[in-house]
Structure 1
Amino acid sequence: MKKKISKNVKLLSIVSLLNDLSSEMIMPILPMFLTALGANGFIIGLIGGLRDSISNILTIISGYWSDKIRKRKIFVIVGYLSSSLFKLLLSFVKIWPQALIVSSFERIGKGIRTAPRDAIISESMPKKHGKGFGFHRAMDTTGAILGSILVLILFWYWGLSFNTIILIAAIISFASLFPLIFVTEKKTFQKKNNINFSIKTLSNPLKYFLIISGIFALANFSYMFFILKAQQFFPERLAIIIPILLYILFNIFYASLSIPFGNLSDKIGRTKLITIGYLIFSLTSLGFIFSNSLIAFIVLFACYGIAFAIIDSNQRALISDLSTKKIRATALGTFHTLIGIIALPASLIAGYLWVINPNLTFIFGFTISIISVFSFIFIQKKFKIYNHS
C-alpha cells in the first residue's frame, strides 16, 4: 500500500506554493531590476550571495532552537511573516544600495523557517523522506512556475513597472500565511530537549556528505548569472521577456521531476541520484560557456531544472537519513548554514569573474562542480555511503 502524503506536508506545500509564487514574481526580474538601479555584475553577485548566505546561516540557529525547545510551528510562522514584510519594503526601493539591504533582509525569514519546516516534513513522513520532500519541492516549484508566468503577464501585457510587480508579489506573500493555522506539531517529547550541539554529534557519513555538498555549493553561484547570460543575446524588451520564459522552462522541469526523483531516491538510494545531479549541473555550466542561441539556452535551462530537481530535495532527504530524530533539525540547519557560508564567496567570485569576462563565471562553475562529482564518488567508495532510504 502506497504511503499517502500527510496533512502537514500538504499544508506546508500549499504555503510554499503561494509564497514561492510571490518570490518567483520577483526572482526572474531581480537581476534586471538591479541593473536598472545601476548595479554591475559584482554588485549583483554580492546581493545574490548575501541573500543565500543570510537565509542559510540563520537556518542553523533556528534549527538548533527548534530542536532544543521542541517547537517547530512558531519558527515557520515568524519566518514567512518576516519575508512578507521585507517584500513589501522592496517594492518601494529606488537605488541599488536600498535593494541590497532590503533584499538581503527578506531572506532572514527563509533562514528562520527552513530547518523547522523541513523537520516537520521529515517527522510527518518518517519512512518516506524522499516522497515528502519531493512533493513539497514540487508544489514549491509549481508556485515558482505560476509566479514566473504571472510576472510575464504583468510586465508584457499590462506594462507594469518592476516596483508595482513586487508590490503585488508582497500581497500574495501575506496571503500564503493562512494555511499555517492548521499545521499541527507532534507532541512526541514531554520535556524540553537539552541538546548541547557539537559537530561530534553528527555521524561520520553525514560529515563527509557535508564536505561534498560544500564543494558543490561553491560552484552553485546565484541563478541571476544564468539569466544575465541569456539576456545578453536579445534586444530591447526581448532581453527581459526571453530570460523570464527560460526561467519558466527551468521551473517546469524542476517541478515536474521533483516527485519522480524523490520517489526514485527512496527506492535506489540518494547518493547515485545526487552524483548524477552534480554531473548534469557541471555539463550545464560547460554549455553556458559556449551558448549563443535561443535553442542552446532552451536546452541548458531545461538541464538546469533537471539538475536541481535531483539535487535540492535529495540532498535534504539524505541529511535526514544520516541524522537521528533528536538532532534532525539541527543537522538540517548545519547543512543549510554550510551552504550559506559558501554562497557569499561563490557569488562574489562569480561576480568578479563576470566583470572580467562572463564566460569565466561558468568555467569556474564547471571546474568546481566536476570536482564535487569525483569527490563524492571517492567518498562513497571509501566510507561506504550508499543507500540510506
Structure 2
Amino acid sequence: MPDASDAPPRHSWRPRGNVLALSAVSFLTDASSEIIAPLLPLFLVGTLGTSVKMVGIIEGGAEAVASLLKLLSGWWSDRVARRKPLIVAGYTIASLVRPLVALAQSGTQVLLIRLTDRVGKGIRGAPRDALLAASAPLAERGRVFGFHRAADHAGAVVGPLIALACLSGLGMAVRDVFWVAAVPGALAVVVAVLFVKDVAVPPHAALPHAALPHAAAPVRSSATEVAAAAPLPRHFWRTLAPILLFTLGNSTDAFLLLRASQLGVPTALLPLLWVALHVVKSASSTPGGALSDRVGRRPLIVTGWLLYAAVYAGFALAAHPWHAWALFALYGVVFGLTEGTEKAFVADLVPTERRGTAFGWYHGLVGFAALPASVVFGTVWDAWSSGTAFFMGAGLALAAAAWLALLPATPPRVAPS
C-alpha cells in the first residue's frame, strides 16, 4: 500500500503573467487613490469652503460617469478584440489628473478633476476584468478574481497609511500630500505598459470546447465578429437582476463610518477603522474566490449576502463602540466572499468574445444603482432613524439572496477558457 510520500507533490498556487501584473497595477492605483480619498472631504469643506451637498455631487457625478464609460469600453474592447490599449489609457488618464487636486482652488475644479479621474476608471474597468478572465484557467477563475481584489484592497490599506505618515511624520501640508499620490500612480502605468499582455480572442470561442490560445496579439475572424455582436445570454440578465436588487440596499460605506461615530468611536480612530476594514477585505478575498471554485459561485454569493444582511441588522441594533469594530470586520468578510466571486460568475455566464460587454453592463448598472441606493438610505436615515435605514438594507439583501438562490440552474459554462 503506498504511503503519503508516493503521492504527487501539491504545489501552492502563485499568480503569474497578467494576473500578477494587473493585480500589481490595481494595488499601486488604489494606493495612489486612497492617499487622497480620506483627505478629500475635509479638504473640500475645510479648505475650499464647499458645501456637504457639493461633496455628494462630486462623488455621485464621478461614479455615474465611470459607470457609463464602463458600458462603452467593455463593448468596444469586444469589437476590436483588444483589451490592453483601453486598460493602459484608463490608468494613464487617472494617474495624470488625480494629483492635480493639489492645485484646485474651488469645488468646481475638484469636480472636473474627479470626473476625468473616473473617466480613466470607466475606460479600464470592463476590459481589465475581461482580460483577467481570459488569463485564468476555469478551475482557478474565482481565486484569480479574489486575488486581484485582495491586491486592490491592500492598496487601500497602504494609501491612507502613506497619507498619515506624510501628515504626521513628515509634517507635510495636505496639498503636498496630494502630489505624493503621483508616485504610485506613475508606477502603475509603467507596470501596465511593460507587463500586461493582450490575450487573443479565439475565433470560435463561443463553442463549448474551444481552447484559448495564449497569444500576444489578438486575431479577428468573421466568426468572431459575428459572435461579438450577438446578444448576451438570457441567463446573464436573469442573474444580474438580483445583483441589482442587492446593490439598491448596498449604500455608500460612508454611512457605516457615520454610524460608528454615533456608537462612540472617536473621530481620530475612524481612519484606523477604515484601514482595518480593508485589511479584512484583502485577507479574505483570495480564499473567498478560491472557495467559489470549489463550492460554486451562487452558494457563496448567497452566503455573503446573508452575512451582509446580518451585519446591517447588527449596525441597526448596535449600542457600543466595540460593536462597530466587530461589525466592520464581518463586513470585510462579506467582500471577500462576494466581490471576486461575482466577477468570476459574470465570466462564467458569457462567451469569451462577449465578456467585455458583459462586464461593462455589470459594472455600469451596479454603478448606476449605487447612487439611488445611497440617496434613499440617507433619506430614510433623516426621516426616521439610522436603525430603520440599516434594517431596510438588510431586508433588500435578504430578498436578493432568496431571489438568486431560487433562480433556475444556469446552463453549462459557454466559455471554458
Q: Give the TM-score of the pair, scaled to structure 1.
A: 0.89
Structure 1 unaligned segments of length 5 or more: list them: none
Among 19, 31, 34, the residue aligned to 1:24 = 34
Is 1:300 matched with 2:327? yes
Q: What is the CA–CA distance in structure 1 between the aligned matches of 2:412 and 2:40, rounded to whole Å?
A: 39
RMSD: 2.7
Q: Secondary structure at the match of 2:225?
A: coil
Q: What is the CA–CA distance in structure 1 between the aligned matches of 2:327 and 2:43, rounded to whole Å?
A: 23
Among 242, 254, 259, the residue aligned to 1:224 = 254
Deviation of 1:141 after TM superposition, in Å, equals: 1.2
Deviation of 1:379 after TM superposition, in Å, equals: 4.0
In the alignment of these two chains, the number of paired residues is: 383
- 1:367: which partner in 2? 392
Q: What is the CA–CA distance in structure 1 between the aligned matches of 2:246 and 2:55, rounded to whole Å?
A: 21
- 1:173: which partner in 2? 185
1:45, 1:351 within 8 Å by CA — same for their partners in 2? no
- 1:194: which partner in 2? 225
Q: What is the CA–CA distance in structure 1 between the aligned matches of 2:287 and 2:331, rounded to whole Å?
A: 17
| CA spacing shift, 1:146–1:375, aligned 2, 3 Å | closer
| CA spacing shift, 1:356–1:32, aligned 2, 3 Å | farther
2:249, 2:394 within 8 Å by CA — same for their partners in 1? yes
| CA spacing shift, 1:222–1:161, aligned 2, 3 Å | farther
Deviation of 1:131 after TM superposition, in Å, equals: 1.2
Q: What is the CA–CA distance in structure 2 between the aligned matches of 1:291 and 1:307, rounded to whole Å?
A: 18
- 1:213: which partner in 2? 243
- 1:376: which partner in 2? 401
Q: What is the CA–CA distance in structure 2 between the aligned matches of 1:60 and 1:66, rounded to whole Å?
A: 10
Greater C-alpha Rg: 2
Deviation of 1:289 after TM superposition, in Å, equals: 3.3
Provide, for residues 155-177 of structure 1, a one-character-per-residue CA deviation record: whole Å limited to 9, x for no partner.
33334333222221133212211
1:8, 1:121 within 8 Å by CA — same for their partners in 2? yes
Provide, for residues 169-215 of structure 1, a one-character-per-residue CA deviation record: whole Å limited to 9, x for no partner.
133212211111221112345226435878x8222321122111111
Q: What is the CA–CA distance in structure 2 between the aligned matches of 1:35 and 1:348, rounded to whole Å?
A: 20
Among 77, 87, 94, the residue aligned to 1:76 = 87
Q: Give the TM-score of the pair, scaled to structure 2.
A: 0.83
Among 299, 319, 327, the residue aligned to 1:272 = 299
| CA spacing shift, 1:254–1:134, aligned 2, 3 Å | same
Q: What is the CA–CA distance in structure 1 between the aligned matches of 2:225 and 2:159, rounded to whole Å?
A: 42
Deviation of 1:387 after TM superposition, in Å, equals: 9.4
Deviation of 1:234 after TM superposition, in Å, equals: 6.4
2:288, 2:338 within 8 Å by CA — same for their partners in 1? no
Is 1:163 matched with 2:163? no
Q: What is the CA–CA distance in structure 2 between the aligned matches of 1:346 and 1:104, rounded to whole Å?
A: 20
| CA spacing shift, 1:386–1:304, aligned 2, 3 Å | farther
Q: What is the CA–CA distance in structure 2 between the aligned matches of 1:90 and 1:292, rounded to whole Å?
A: 38
| CA spacing shift, 1:39–1:364, aligned 2, 3 Å | farther
1:68, 1:195 within 8 Å by CA — same for their partners in 2? no
1:79, 1:112 within 8 Å by CA — same for their partners in 2? yes
1:212, 1:372 within 8 Å by CA — same for their partners in 2? no
Structure 1 residues 19-58: aligned runs within 5 Å: 19-36=29-46, 37-39=48-50, 42-58=53-69
Provide, for residues 285-318 of structure 1, a one-character-per-residue CA deviation record: whole Å limited to 9, x for no partner.
3333344643122112212211112221111111
Provide, for residues 111-137 of structure 1, a one-character-per-residue CA deviation record: whole Å limited to 9, x for no partner.
100111111110011312101111111
Provide, for residues 66-95 of structure 1, a one-character-per-residue CA deviation record: whole Å limited to 9, x for no partner.
010011100001100111122122222233
2:316, 2:390 within 8 Å by CA — same for their partners in 1? no
Deviation of 1:39 after TM superposition, in Å, equals: 4.9
Deviation of 1:351 after TM superposition, in Å, equals: 4.2
| CA spacing shift, 1:386–1:14, aligned 2, 3 Å | same
Q: Secondary structure at the match of 1:55?
A: helix
1 or 2 for the larger relative contact order (CA 8 Å, sep ≥6)? Answer: 1
| CA spacing shift, 1:283–1:92, aligned 2, 3 Å | farther
| CA spacing shift, 1:283–1:262, aligned 2, 3 Å | same
Deviation of 1:150 after TM superposition, in Å, equals: 1.7
Structure 1 residues 74-153: aligned runs within 5 Å: 74-127=85-138, 128-153=140-165
- 2:195: which partner in 1? 182
